[in-house]
Amino acid sequence: MQNERVAELLVETGAYKDLAEPVILTSGQLGIFYVNTEKLLGDPNINDRLKEFENNPQGMISYAVRRALDDARVSEAIGIIAGEVQAIADQRGYEDFAVSGGQRRDWIFSGPVAKLLERDHVALFKSGGRADVFVPGKPLLMEADYLGPGIYDGIIHVADLLTEGSSCYRMEDGKEMGWIPMLRERGANIQDLVGVVTRLQGGEKNLRARGVEPHTLVTIDGNFLAAHSSTPTRAICYSHSPDAWSKDYLMKNGALAFVDAFSPEGGKQDRAMKFARRYGETLKEADKWDELRDAVKGRFDYDLEAA
C-alpha cells in the first residue's frame, strides 16, 4: 500500500532523484535514480551529520528529533512511520516493545519514532558486537545482552531503505550476519520491519524467509516512477530488472566510468569491489574487464584480480 504523502515528501525534499548516468549502489548493483531517504530531514548538510554521528546513535537521534521540531515535513513523516509501528504492535498484542534501528541511516527514523511512541530504542552497530538500548533524550541505559521476554514482548525494526535486505540478513563465511541475527542472538522476538522505502530488489523475500514481515510506506515501482520520474520509460525499464539492466549497460559501455569509485580515499571502495565481484563475468564476456582492471591498477595500484 503506497503512502502517497510520504511519496510526495520524497520528491519535495530531493530524497528521490533521477540520475543522468548510472552509479554504483551499496549492493554493488548499478542505479539510475537515487533514493536517499535521509534527505527527508531537509538538511543540506545531512552528509556532515552522518559522518559526525556515525558511531553516536544518541547524537544522531537528538539531531533528527530537532529536525522534526523545526520542520513540519519531517515531523509529518516521523508521525506516519510511528503510526505504522504502533499499528503493528497493536496487531501483535505487544504491551512492552522496543524500536530498533541499524547504524547509521536507520537511526534517523527509528530514534525519533521511538521517542514519539515513548519506547526504548535499540541501536545496532555494523560490527555486530554491540547493541545499545536507551530512551531517546536520556543517558545510556545499557549495552544489551538480552532483549527477549521479560524485557520486551517484541522489537519492531525501522529501516530507512529496503533493497536486497542484506543489512538485515546475509551469510558471510558461513556465518549469519545482519540486524535480524543480532537481535535474535539476544533473545529478541523480531517479526516485523517497517521500511520508509522499498526498491523491490529482493529484500521482502529475504526477510520473509527469516520470519520477518516487511511493511513499507513507499514502493519504487512502475506507478511511482510514472508519476515522479523525469525519465519514466527508462526508469520503469530499469525497475523491471535492475540486474538485467545493469548487465546490458555494462555489455555496451564497459565500466571505465566507475574507476574513481575504486579509490581507497573516496569512501566507495567497498561498494566498488562488490560491483567488480558482481559483474566481473559480464565484463569479461564483453571483453571489457581488462580495461577496468588496468585502469584501477594504473590509478590506485590495486589489483582487482587479487581482491
Q: What is the pLDDT of residues 158-195, one digit of tens each?
A: 999 998 899 999 988 898 989 999 999 999 999 999 99
pLDDT at 17: 93
Q: What is the pLDDT of residues 114-140, one digit of tens each?
A: 999 999 999 998 876 665 666 565 555
pLDDT at 128: 62
pLDDT at 132: 66
Residue spans of the domains in the chain: they are: 4-225
Q: What is the pLDDT of residues 39-79, one digit of tens each?
A: 999 999 999 999 999 989 989 999 999 999 999 999 999 99
- Residue ranges of alpha helices (H) inside the chain are 4-12, 46-52, 57-70, 72-92, 105-117, 179-185, 203-209, 222-228, 232-240, 242-253, 269-285, 289-300
Percent of the chain with pLDDT over 90: 77
Q: What is the pLDDT of residues 74-101, one digit of tens each?
A: 999 999 999 999 999 999 999 999 999 9
- DSSP state at residue 187: T
Mean of per-residue pLDDT scores for the chain: 92
- pTM for the structure as a whole: 0.84
- Rounded Cα–Cα distance for residues 37 and 269 (Å): 22
- Rounded Cα–Cα distance for residues 197 and 186 (Å): 27
- Of the pLDDT bands very low, low, confident and very high (cuts 50, 70, 90), residue 302 is confident
pLDDT at 164: 87
Handedness of CA 86, 43, 35, 275 (dihedral sign): negative
User: What cell does 187 get?
Assistant: 533473545
pLDDT at 179: 94
Is the CATH number 3.40.50.2020 carried by domain 4-225?
Answer: yes
Give phi and psi for 94, each to the nearest 5.
-75, 130
pLDDT at 266: 76
